[in-house]
Amino acid sequence: MRRAAQAIGSPWTLVALALIVATGIPYGFSDTWMKWSNFGLSIAAIVAAVIVQNAQNTDTAALQSKSDEIIKALPEADNRLQGIEKR
């Protein structure tokens, strides 16, 4: 998932979208072309959103684990806050 999220955020994604739009030129942007391109891009947007959300959840979990370790390591830290996101 991490590799897919990085691919979605790359400049090549913009190039791919430009190529999809450019394919409409030979078809004269017909109704059929518009329907299929809208359908395909809608599905791609939903899949991209799921992939990006998964990557963000993974990053958040890693950040929470690291902050819990910092709280454990500092003697003056309030340990009641450790693991609060799991409550």
Could you give the CA distance from residue 61 to residue 57 in angstroms, rounded to a whole number? 6
pLDDT greater than 80 at residue 82: no
What does the pLDDT look like over 3-49, one tens digit per residue?
887 777 788 888 888 888 888 888 788 888 889 888 988 998 999 89
Could you give the number of structural domains in the chain?
1
**HEC secondary structure over 22-52:** HCCCCCCCCHHHHHHHHHHHHHHHHHHHHHH
The CA angle 7-9-10, to the nearest 5 degrees, is 65
| 61-84 average pLDDT score | 79
pTM, to two decimals: 0.62
Domain range for 10 is 2-86
Could you give the CA distance from residue 68 to residue 25 in angstroms, rounded to a whole number? 55
